[in-house]
Structure 1
Amino acid sequence: MRKYTYLLALLLVLTLSAGCAQGAALKPGDHPPVELSAWVADWDSQRGTEEYRQLKHHLAGVSCFTASYDQDDKLTVPAEVRAFAKAARKEGQAKRYLSVANDWQDKTGRKHAKDQALLRRLLADDEHKESAVREMIAAAKEADCNGLELDYEAFYKDKSLLQGYLSLTYKLSAACLRENLDLRIVLEPGMPMDAGLCKGPEYVVMLYNLHGRHSGPGPKADGAFIRRTIQKMAAIPGRKGVALATGGCLWEDYGLLGLKKGAARFVDEVEAAAMVKAHNGTPERDEESWALHFSWQEKGHSYELWYADSETINAWIKAAADEGITDISLWRLGGNCHVKGIRMK
């Protein structure tokens, strides 16, 4: 019992200390001009395409998400991704990226996301890396995309995988240059930015997942997190931008500083707004992130909801632009209430 009391006291001190260390409040407002890009995901392609058509004249590029692997480590592109890439070309979209993730699907249809074992096979040696590069190039061309986006995640803490990944990016960059394909590389915020990234690609750092299913309630990003991550990005060579996340997360029965917790799941803005309306509530605006949050009790359970609306996104864009970032990517289109309200300046 004494051990748990000490643990609770320590967690309380750390929580209060973190709260005191937060930066100044965020607000939307005028900022240096930025260029917008966005993702459309295969599992929400209908709503994503609808929002794309609302926003297309403001987008410098779109990422068609996602190409992944089958049980034999062969790269596959869903029909929904192909259809959206074709539609985007007809709409006159100049930059269309095929996004490749380290996900794979087994024979039963079960999806394995951000899989390190898959990466160990793909990055095993130069022959495997070169084969992976050839597959990506061919898939992008076949899908009618004029760019590639590498979105391998959850590997950088493994030094061997990190070195193999860096080697792959050099090979991929050279191949894209030969084939006249643009290349974007997506990085997690925890990635060591000084690891030796190659010059040439555009790098996009994710400014989200500050809070999510891995943590307790809170926003996907706040001012302190945005500024801290952008400062780390100084080590990245060449062109660099950031990605901001729409939607949010719902936590069930989270309490006692994490010693008590139920399920947590991601939600889009449309879902979040419907939850608030169903409980006749009014969400509060968090000053340090400009995100919305709302709590309620139902059937013996407590719920806490945090999510972004267009004003949240605008505040995050301003924070990034004020730090010198001019390229902003939105994860993702689909399930947003007022996507046309996002401001470029």
Structure 2
Amino acid sequence: MSSVGYKIIKTVIFVSVFIILIGCNYDHQSAVNAVAKEPTKVSAWLAYWDLNAGEKDMKKLGKKLEKLSYFGAYFDSNDRLFIPQDLSDKRSELQKKKGNYETYLTFVNDKQNFDGSTVMKDTEVLRRLFSDDASVEKHIDEIIALTLRGGYEGIEIDYEKIWKDETIGQSFLHFTNKLYAKSQKNNLKLRVVLEPSTPFSSVNFIKGPEYVVMLYNLYGLHSTPGPKANKEFIQKTIARMEALPGEKSVAFSTGGCLWGENGEKKFLTEIEAKTLAAIYDCETRRDEESQCIVFDYKSKGVTYQVWYADVKTLNYWITIAKEQGVNHISLWRLGENVDIDKIK
């Protein structure tokens, strides 16, 4: 072949590839733009320790609420799952009102000890439950039985810190695969909540469950003062989520956190944060990158700093997510949120 002919073929191939890539990017951007214009699909968690305040927020959301997760079932001292009685009672009460939202029972790897104390995000209980196929099957059967007994439409798995140990992480995948298959046989939906540190691209998640990625705790009890999320954190995590198959959602956190120079740290609801600002007559400011509200105050010689989200913050985060093609938003959590009804 002559050098001229070779150059022509090379040029044709280059142009063809370029056109295909442009077309793909155009299609992707068109899909993203379409999502950005859609109404937000809102899910939320109702926590067992704040049921009455949570129900008030739920009523404010009204028809905007598409999915409600009851949080949650966890483990007793014998590694058996149980649901706090108050949560079961609230489920029975709300079930009679027949809301137009799907209901899920959330399972977490918190564990209650013999002395009544609780270990949060306990991976050792998971190590025991995932030790062999018989144990995994027993655990799955227990999850499905509790979900069906409560009349829920779906299961939500919120097991955390699992990727700190590769063995537990791979066992978790095996567990979720089996759970999804068995939930399908029982006409139950499955949501799997994942931490933002999950290695999405190197793990073979199956298509079928809805994957909900937590976009919070960028700063928190583990760190110095700062926002639970900001623009860069949201954008980078959603970009990494492209590796997840099927339906994808993101979760944002309401409320905020307090840090004291004496080492004190604790989470706050929006109302708790606003109350502190009012009591100490604080001048508040809005952080540009996160749109969180920030203020400082002094009490008994100790200086504190508070960062928290209001509805303007939440809507800012939601807009960033929608601009990247994610329209399913979950809110952690219901309870003491001032203008939650103004979520976009």
Give the TM-score of the pair, scaled to structure 2.
0.87
Return the letter of the residue paired with 2:187. Answer: N
Residue matched to 1:308:
309
| Shift, 1:85, TM fit | 2.4
Residue matched to 1:142:
149
Residue matched to 1:212:
220
Q: Secondary structure of 1:145's partner?
A: coil
1:88 aligns with one of 91, 94, 99: 94
Residue matched to 2:30:
none
| Shift, 1:87, TM fit | 3.4
Relative contact order, higher structure (CA 8 A, sep 6+): 1
Residue matched to 1:7:
none
Residue matched to 1:70:
76
Q: Secondary structure of 2:308's partner?
A: strand
Q: Name the Cα RMSD after superposition.
A: 1.2
Whether the aligned pair in 2 keeps the contact of 1:217 and 1:306 (CA below 8 Å) is yes
Q: Secondary structure of 2:216's partner?
A: coil
Whether the aligned pair in 2 keeps the contact of 1:42 and 1:65 (CA below 8 Å) is yes
| Shift, 1:342, TM fit | 1.3
Larger fraction in helix: 2
Residue matched to 1:54:
60
Q: Secondary structure of 1:205's partner?
A: strand
Cα distance between partner residues in 2 of 1:31 and 1:274: 35
Q: Secondary structure of 2:332's partner?
A: strand
| Shift, 1:56, TM fit | 3.0
Cα distance between partner residues in 2 of 1:185 and 1:46: 26
The structure with the larger Rg is: 2
Residue 117, structure 1, aligned to residue 124, structure 2: yes
Residue matched to 1:228:
236
1:34 aligns with one of 33, 40, 50: 40
Residue matched to 2:114:
107
Cα distance between partner residues in 1 of 2:327 and 2:269: 25
Q: Percent identity?
A: 42
| Shift, 1:86, TM fit | 2.6
Whether the aligned pair in 2 keeps the contact of 1:85 and 1:145 (CA below 8 Å) is no
Return the letter of the residue paired with 1:304. Answer: Q
Residue 188, structure 1, aligned to residue 195, structure 2: yes
Residue matched to 1:17:
none
Give the TM-score of the pair, scaled to structure 1.
0.87
Cα distance between partner residues in 2 of 1:322 and 1:90: 38
Return the letter of the residue paired with 2:286. Answer: R
Change (3 A) 1:85 1:141: same
Q: Secondary structure of 2:162's partner?
A: coil
Whether the aligned pair in 2 keeps the contact of 1:85 and 1:96 (CA below 8 Å) is no
Cα distance between partner residues in 2 of 1:282 and 1:87: 42
Return the letter of the residue paired with 1:69. Answer: F
| Shift, 1:243, TM fit | 0.3
Whether the aligned pair in 2 keeps the contact of 1:34 and 1:325 (CA below 8 Å) is no
In structure 1, the gaps of 5 or more residues are 1-29, 254-260
Whether the aligned pair in 2 keeps the contact of 1:82 and 1:144 (CA below 8 Å) is no
Instruction: Give every structure 1 segment of 4 or more consecutive aligned residues whose post-TM-superposition deviation is greater than 3 Å.
Output: none
Q: Deviations over 1:279-326 (max 9, x none)?
A: 112310011000000012222211000000011111111110111001
Whether the aligned pair in 2 keeps the contact of 1:291 and 1:306 (CA below 8 Å) is yes
Cα distance between partner residues in 2 of 1:198 and 1:314: 31
| Shift, 1:31, TM fit | 5.1
Q: Secondary structure of 1:277's partner?
A: helix
2:51 aligns with one of 37, 42, 45: 45
Residue matched to 2:23:
none
Whether the aligned pair in 2 keeps the contact of 1:31 and 1:318 (CA below 8 Å) is no
In structure 2, the gaps of 5 or more residues are 1-35
Q: Deviations over 1:173-203 (max 9, x none)?
A: 0011000001000000001112111110000
Q: Deviations over 1:200-253 (max 9, x none)?
A: 000000000000010010110000000000000000010000000000000000
Residue matched to 1:161:
168
Return the letter of the residue paired with 2:265. Answer: A
Matches within 5 A, 1:184-333: 184-194=191-201, 195-253=203-261, 262-333=263-334
| Shift, 1:91, TM fit | 3.0
